[in-house]
Amino acid sequence: MVNNIYPNNSEIKSQLNLANDDLIRLLQSLSCAKYKILIKEPSNTTVSSSDYFELNSKFIDRMSWIRVPLPPVDERKNVVENVGKDRRYAIDACIVRIMKSRKVLPDQQLVAECSEQLSSMFKPNLKAIKKQMEDLITRDYLERDQDNQNLFKYLARTNNLVSYDLLFLVFI
C-alpha cells in the first residue's frame, strides 16, 4: 500500500506465489466471511482479478486468537475421476483373474462373474465391464474366438511388466 494505492488481486498473487484458485479462496475468506480482516473494493461477495484490497484498521475482536476458515475446495471432479480410474483397474484385474483361471469363457458368463466378484467393492456398471473387456482385447490380454464371437480366450503373457493380479491387491 503505497500512496493510497491498494494492491489488487494480481499484485497479491505475485507477492505470495500462490495459485489463482488458492488466492481467490484466501482473499474471499479474509474479505467476505464472518471476520472482515480485509476491505474489498468493490464490496460484493465474489473475488475477481480487478478487485482491490486494504487492511481493515477498524477490525477488533475480543478473542486473542481467531480462526479464519477457508471456503471448501471443489475437489469433487478430481475425486470422481480418481474413483473411475480405480474402478477401471479393479475391473481389469477381476477380468484377468477370472480368465486366467478359466482360459475360455462366454461373454455373458464373464460379465456375470465379474459383477459378482466386484459387488463387494462397488456396484459395477455392465457397460464399464464390457468396455474394459474390449480394452483388454486391444492390450492383448484377451481375444475373441474365431468361430464364436461371444467366446473370450485368455492370452498368456510371459513378458508382462504389470501384473493385474498384483495390482488388484492394492484395492483390497
Decide if 71 contacts 28 (C-beta within 8 A).
Answer: yes
Q: Residue 99 sits in a domain of what CATH number?
A: 1.10.10.10
Q: Which domain holds residue 136?
A: 75-168
Output the pLDDT for position 169.
Answer: 46
Residue 11 CB partners (closer than 8 Å, separation 6+): none
Q: Are 15 and 47 members of one domain? A: yes
Query: What mean pLDDT, rounded, does the chain reach?
Result: 79
Q: Which of 73, 105, 128 is the last residue of a domain?
A: 73
Low-confidence ranges of the chain (pLDDT < 50): 1-4, 160-162, 166, 168-170, 172
Residue 81, C-alpha cell as written in the block = 475421476
Q: Are 80 and 56 members of one domain? A: no
Decide if 155 contacts 143 (C-beta within 8 A).
Answer: yes
Output the pLDDT for position 6.
Answer: 61
Domains of the chain: total: 2
Residue 98 CB partners (closer than 8 Å, separation 6+): 105, 110, 113, 114, 117
Q: Are 58 and 113 members of one domain? A: no
Q: Is the peptide bond before 124 cis (omega within 30 degrees of 0)?
A: no
In terms of pTM, does the model score above 0.75?
A: no
Output the pLDDT for position 5.
Answer: 52
